[in-house]
Structure 1
Amino acid sequence: MKQGQFEQLYQPLWQVIELQIIELEKPEGKLKGEELASFASRYRRLCHFHALAKDRHYSSHLVDKLGDLVVRGHQQLYRRKQPFMQQFTSFIVAGFPRLVREQQSYIWWATALLYIPGLLMFLAILWQPDLVYTISPPEQVSQYESMYDPQNRVLGSARDSETNVQMFGFYISNNIGVSFRTFASGILFGVGSIFFLVFNGLLMGAVAGHLTNAGFTETFFTFVVGHGSFELTAIAISGAAGLKLGYSLLAPGNLTRKESLKRASKIAIQLVYGVIVMLVIAAFIEAFWSSNNILDPWQKYLVGGFLWAIVIGYLVFSGRGLRGETATPATKDESGSARG
């Protein structure tokens, strides 16, 4: 890309950053929470543009101007850090769903690797019930049957409050363990993440298919429909983060594999932060709501559908229109090469 095209395309962004820096440099200058969060996002992209300008040997005037803004921005960014809770809230409300949308290609691949094998296994077990034993040993299958047997159903709360708290902790530990393995194994060029996504999908489909054959559909599906929206989506996002790590090693572009992995891991770790929050919510629902049998099945399905709508709506729409979300082609170019 020629310098003229580069400036025409990206100059509006660094002009906005310059105005924000000037405002922050004033003794009384203040930016509100959302403005400060957008400044941090834009500053990272400014650093990227500065690196590109140097790498492409653009004029010293442009390189020095961008370098000056980088230095001044750095001083203001680290002098005026947001309080932790403000940063956390901003990330959950806007930053995380925006990041999911930016990485949607990985999200779709991970979702397909989780759900398609699960659906195929579900249909296969409906046709050939004994296939369940290729996924789970007989004793574990018996445990599933005992857990969801309608004869063992208790009206109202299935457990006392102390047990619910204990199960809440167990679900958090178990779900985070599954998600972390799915994410971290992506370092094996993505193969590990693919394996865990497919395996969890097959296990999910096998259990659902077997319990359907056993006639335990009401107890099983009314239990999982509530927390499944948060838990399954979180596992898919964990897998997407792992796939991103793997792809950074397989296709580093103009970077070394080490540098490519370093850049990809910064984004992947942020995805995992959001996943942890989703898994805590899923564990809370599973411990205190899913096991409660006081409502009719249609009521639990209605609530479950509502929770799925919340998760999908949050990831699709939350954070749109805020100042931190601006679309420019260079944002997703992690290899350091130009797109244009």
Structure 2
Amino acid sequence: MKQGQFEQTYQPLWELLEQQILALEHPKRSLSATELNDFASRYRRLCHLHALAKDRHYSSHLVDHLGDLVVRGHQQLYCRKQPFWQQLIRFVVAGFPRLVREQQRYIWWATALLYLPGVILYLAILWQPDLVYTVTSPAQVSSFEEMYDPQNRTLGSARESETNVQMFGFYIRNNIGVSFRTFASGILFGVGSIFFLVYNGLLMGAVAGHLTNAEFTQTFFSFVIGHGSFELTAICISGAAGLLLGYSLLAPGNLTRTESLKRASKIAIQLMYGVILMLLVAAFIEAFWSSNNILLPWQKYWVGGFLWTIVIAYFVFSGRSLDSRIDLATEGKDA
């Protein structure tokens, strides 16, 4: 690309960035939160354009001008950080669902590894009830029966912790432990994540099948449907993050395995930030809503269906405006 064409294509971008830098340098002027977020992405593109201009030996005037903007932009970018709560809101509203959509290949694989074995074993146990003991011990089976017995005054709990607050803490520790093992074991070339996804799916199917045979379906399914939307989706995302790590080691491409793992880890850790938030929500619902045996089953089913709709809509639609801006930026870069 000749310099004239380069300037005609990209000059609007660096002129807009220069205006934003001037605004940030002025003590009485500021940018909105949205403009600050856009500033970061534009600055990264400016750095790329500066490198291209130097590599292609464009005029020193252009290279120096872009270099000056890079230095001034760097000063503003790293001395003006958004407050933590603004970064958190942006991550929840747009960053996390967008990241999940970007990694949907791993999400779908993890979902299949969790649900398909569970559904198969569930159907098998309906046909042959004794198959439940291939996954769980007799003591565990008895414990599950006690948890979901309609006469149990604290539904879903067979432990000494009987208050909602205590159970909230227990669910957080237990769920985060399961998700972290599913994620971290992906470092074993993905085998560990596959194992934990399949195992948890089989356990889920075994419990569901056995309780269906025991005619505890109303208490069991009305209990899990509420928090399951957040908890099960979070486990799938944890597994996807682990599979991402494993694949980065199996197929590093032109990178070294170490560098490939570093790049994958940055994405995987961000996914796990979202997983932790989802598990906090799931634990709250499980402790204060799902375990309530005063509510009627149909009420729980309605609320559970609503929560599943919210979770699906969140990952499908949230942050789409950010996707559109990124697509436009990519088109401009390729022009």
TM-score range, shorter chain: 0.7 to 0.9
The residue that corresponds to 1:289 in the other structure is 289
Number of residue pairs matched by the alignment: 329
The TM-score with structure 2 as length reference comes to: 0.86
Q: What is the distance in 1 between the residues matched to 2:150 and 2:175?
A: 26
Q: Retained in 2: the 8 A contact 1:98–1:319? A: yes
Paired letter, 1:296: L
Q: How do 1:45-60 residues align onto structure 2 when only pairs under 5 Å count?
A: 49=48, 53=52, 57-59=55-57
Question: How far apart, CA to CA, are the structure 2 residues paired with 1:84 and 1:219?
Answer: 41
Aligned equivalents of 1:154, 1:246: Cα separation in 2: 40
Q: Which of 1 and 2 has higher RCO (CA within 8 Å, sep 6+)?
A: 1
| C-alpha distance 41-233 of structure 1, shift in aligned 2 (>3 A) | farther
Structure-2 residue corresponding to 1:171: 171
Q: Which runs of 5+ in 2 are unaligned?
A: none
TM-score, with structure 1 as normaliser: 0.85
Mark the runs of 5 or more structure 1 residues left unpaired by the alignment.
332-337
AA in 2 matched with 1:297: P
Conserved 8 A contact 2:18-2:69: yes
Relative to structure 1, the CA distance from residue 309 to residue 159 in structure 2 (aligned partners, 3 Å threshold; closer, same or farther) is farther
Cα distance change on mapping 1:285 and 1:72 into 2, 3 Å: same
3-state SS in 1 of match to 2:81? coil
1:261 maps onto 2:251 in alignment: no
In structure 2, the residue matched to 1:73 is 73
Q: Which residue of 1 aligns with 2:148?
A: 148
SS state at 1:265 partner: helix
Partner of 1:281, secondary structure, is helix
**TM-superposed deviation, 1:17:** 4.2
In structure 2, the partner of 1:320 is 320
Instruction: Quote the residue 1:211 is aligned against.
Output: 211
The answer on whether the counterparts of 1:158 and 1:291 sit within 8 Å (CA) in structure 2 is no
Structure label with greater radius of gyration:
2
Tell me the CA shift for residue 194 of structure 1: 1.2
Paired residue for 2:199? 199
Q: What does 1:4-19 correspond to in 2, within 5 Å?
A: 11=10, 17-19=17-19
The corresponding residue for 1:138 is 138
Question: Could you report, residue by residue, the CA deviation over 1:23-59 in whole angstroms, capped at 9, with x for unpaired residues?
Answer: 3233333111122123334445655x469849x9544
Question: Contact 1:34/1:323 (CA < 8 Å) preserved in 2?
Answer: no
Moved more, 58-67 or 314-323: 58-67
Q: For residues 189 and 64 of structure 2, what CA distance do their matches in structure 1 show?
A: 39
Return the alpha-carbon distance in structure 2 between the equivalents of residues 30 and 205 of structure 1. 55
Aligned to 2:125: 125
Q: Which moved more, 1:224-233 or 1:262-271?
A: 262-271
Query: 1:37 touches 1:90 (CA, 8 Å); kept in 2?
Result: no
